Chain A
Amino acid sequence: MRRENRWLVTFGILLIVTILIIAGSQSGVLRIIQTAIMAPLKPAAGLLTDGAGAAQELTEDPLEYADLEERALELERLVAEMQVEIVRLREIEQDYYRLSDILNYASENTDQNFVTADVIARDTSSYLRWVIINRGTRDGVQVGNPAISDLGLVGRVESVAANAAWIRLTNDPESAINARLQTARAEGTVTGQLQGGLRMELIPQEALVEPGDLVLTSGLGGTFPANIVIGQVTSVRRQQADLFQSAEIRPTVDYDNLRIVSIITSFEPVDLATFDEVIESEGGTGQ
C-alpha cells in the first residue's frame, strides 16, 4: 500500500475511534476508565499546583517578596532543611487561615454539610473556566453541589469521579446563577464572561442599582443556597429602550489563585412551597 494510503487508513481509523470515545464519554460510560487513569496523576498535579500557586504569590506581592528576602538573609546561617521547613510551615499557615474562614461559614450554616477539597488542576482548555478537585463520590460529592471558598461562591460541581470532581467556576461563560442585589433588592442572573469577569443580567429597569452594591445568591431554583456572596457591582448599563438593565460584577473570589474549596454536599433549598400556596389561594378566590 502506498504511504499516503496507509496514512489515510490510519487517520480514518483513529477518527472513528475518537468519535466513539466522545460518544462514550458523553454518555458517562468511560468515567471509570477516566477515574483509573487520573488516580496516579492526582498527587503530581496537586504538588505542581501548590508549587505554581506559591511561586505566583511570591512574585505578585512585592511586600511579601521583600519580607521573604529579608528572612532569607537571616536564615543563611541555618541549614537548607530548615529553610524548606519554614516555607512548608508558611504554606500550612495560609491553609489554616483559609480553612478557619471556611469553618466560620460552616458554623454559621448548620443546615449545610461540607467537604473541603484541594484544587489540583485547572482545565487544559483555555476556553473553559473549570478546576479539578481531589474529592469525589467516595467523599460524598455529587453533581450539582455548590462550591464555595472563604471569599464567596466558587462554582458548581458538574462532573464527579470516585476520587475527583470537576467544578465549573462562576466565571465560566456557560455558568448562570440566580442572584440578588443586597441594597437594590432586585434579582437577576449572573453569567460568566470569557475575560474572567461576571455580568448580572435581567435586572428590572425600575431597580436602583449602584456601583458597590453586593451581589448574593438568591437561592431561587434550588441549585445554590441563598445569601452566598458572588461579587460587587462595578458599573451599570441601563438603556431606556431595553426591558432590563445589566451590571458588571467584580467577583470576590480570585479564581486564578484558588487552592482550597468547600463543597456543600447538602443544604436546605429555598422553600418554594410558599408560592404554590399563593397560587392555590388565588385559584381558590377566583372560583
Chain B
Amino acid sequence: MSLQLGIPLFVVAVLLQATVLPHLRVYGGQPDLVVLLVLAWSTLDQEQEGLAWAFVGGLLLDLFSGMPLGVSSLALLPLAYLIGLLEAQVYRASLLLPLLLTAVGATAYHVIYMLLLRFLTDYPLSWSASFGYVTLPSVLFDIVLFIPVLRLLARWHDRLHPRQVKI
C-alpha cells in the first residue's frame, strides 16, 4: 500500500474509531477498524508492509487515546509479524481460515493491549469484566467485519501488485 493511499485510509479509520464507532458500542465493545486493516493487509501482502502499517496505525490510534504513544503499535506489531510469516494463498483458499484468523488475531490484540495497560500504566483492569464486557463484543464485531474489509483490500492489493502468472 503506498503512503499516499495508506495514510489517508488509516487516518479515516482512526477518526471513525474515535468519533462514530463509540456510538455503536454493544456493552463496551466496538469494531476495531485499524486492527482489521492491519490484519487484512498483513494477510494479503507478501512484503513487510503489514509491519509498517501496524506501526503507523498503532501510533495514529494512540493520538486519540489517553495511553502513551506506541502502546497500540506494540500490541499490533507481533500480530502483523506472525501473520506475515504465513503464505497469503492459505488465507485466500477458504473463508473459514480468515475468520479464525480474525478471532485469534483480534483476541490476541486485546489481550496484549490489556497486559500493556496493566503493566505499563498500572491501570486497574478487572480481567474477567474486561474480557466479557469489552473484548468479546469487540472481537465479534471484528469477525463480522473482517470478510468485507479483506475483500475490499484484496481488490486494492491486486491492483497495486498484480499476480504474476508463468506462461
What residues of chain A have their CB less than 8 Å away from a CB belonging to chain B? 4, 6-8, 10-11, 14-15, 17-19, 21-22, 24-26, 30, 34, 37-38, 41, 44-45, 48-49, 51-53, 55-56, 120-128, 130, 132, 158-159, 166, 168, 173-174, 194-196, 256
Please pick, from A10, A34, A174, the residue contacting B51 in the complex, using a CB distance under 8 A: A10
Considering residues A11, A53, A55, which has the most beta carbons from chain B within 10 angstroms of its beta carbon? A11
Minimum distance in angstroms from A144 CB to a CB of chain B: 15
Known contacts: A15-B77, A45-B19. The answer to whether A126 contacts B25 by CB under 8 A is yes
Residue pair B28, A196 in contact (C-beta under 8 Å): yes
- By beta carbon, the residue of chain B nearest A192 is B124
Q: Is B93 an interface residue (CB 8 A)?
A: no
Residue pair A19, B123 in contact (C-beta under 8 Å): no
Residue pair A34, B69 in contact (C-beta under 8 Å): yes
Residue pair B63, A22 in contact (C-beta under 8 Å): no
- Pairs A–B under 8 Å by Cβ, sample size 18: A7-B85, A10-B51, A11-B81, A22-B71, A25-B70, A52-B19, A120-B19, A121-B19, A124-B61, A124-B62, A124-B65, A126-B29, A132-B64, A168-B66, A173-B123, A174-B124, A256-B22, A256-B23
Query: Bound complex: CA of A4 vs CA of B86, how far in Å?
Result: 10
What residues of chain B have their CB less than 8 Å away from a CB belonging to chain A? 11, 14-20, 22-23, 25, 27-30, 34, 48, 51-52, 54-55, 58-59, 61-74, 77, 81, 84-85, 113-114, 117, 120, 123-126, 129-130, 133-134, 138
Query: Bound complex: CA of A175 vs CA of B28, how far in Å?
Result: 17
Residues of A within 8 A of B71 (CB): 22
Residue pair B113, A125 in contact (C-beta under 8 Å): yes
Residues of A within 8 A of B55 (CB): 14, 17-18
Residue pair B133, A195 in contact (C-beta under 8 Å): yes
Is the contact region of chain A dominated by helix, strand, or loop, or is it mixed? helix
Known contacts: A10-B48, A22-B68, A34-B63. The answer to whether A45 contacts B18 by CB under 8 A is yes
Residue pair B81, A121 in contact (C-beta under 8 Å): no
Please pick, from B25, B51, B64, B68, the residue contacting A124 in the complex, using a CB distance under 8 A: B64
Considering residues A15, A124, A174, A194, which has the most beta carbons from chain B within 10 angstroms of its beta carbon? A124
Known contacts: A37-B63, A256-B22. The answer to whether A21 contacts B70 by CB under 8 A is yes
Known contacts: A53-B23, A174-B123. The answer to whether A124 contacts B14 by CB under 8 A is yes
Residue pair B19, A18 in contact (C-beta under 8 Å): no
List 15 extra interface pairs beyond A124-B62, A195-B129, CB under 8 A.
Answer: A4-B85, A6-B48, A10-B48, A15-B74, A18-B70, A19-B70, A22-B74, A45-B19, A45-B64, A48-B16, A52-B20, A127-B123, A128-B66, A256-B22, A256-B25
Query: Bound complex: CA of A196 vs CA of B71, how far in Å?
Result: 23
- By beta carbon, the residue of chain A nearest B126 is A194
Minimum distance in angstroms from B134 CB to a CB of chain A: 5
Is the contact region of chain B dominated by helix, strand, or loop, or is it mixed? helix
Residue pair B129, A194 in contact (C-beta under 8 Å): yes
Residue pair B58, A18 in contact (C-beta under 8 Å): yes
Query: Bound complex: CA of A41 vs CA of B63, how far in Å?
Result: 10
Please pick, from A11, A14, A41, A130, the residue contacting B66 in the complex, using a CB distance under 8 A: A130
Residues of A within 8 A of B113 (CB): 125, 127
- By beta carbon, the residue of chain B nearest A193 is B129
Query: Bound complex: CA of A36 vs CA of B19, how far in Å?
Result: 20
Query: Bound complex: CA of A226 vs CA of B79, how far in Å?
Result: 48
Query: Bound complex: CA of A85 vs CA of B30, how far in Å?
Result: 32
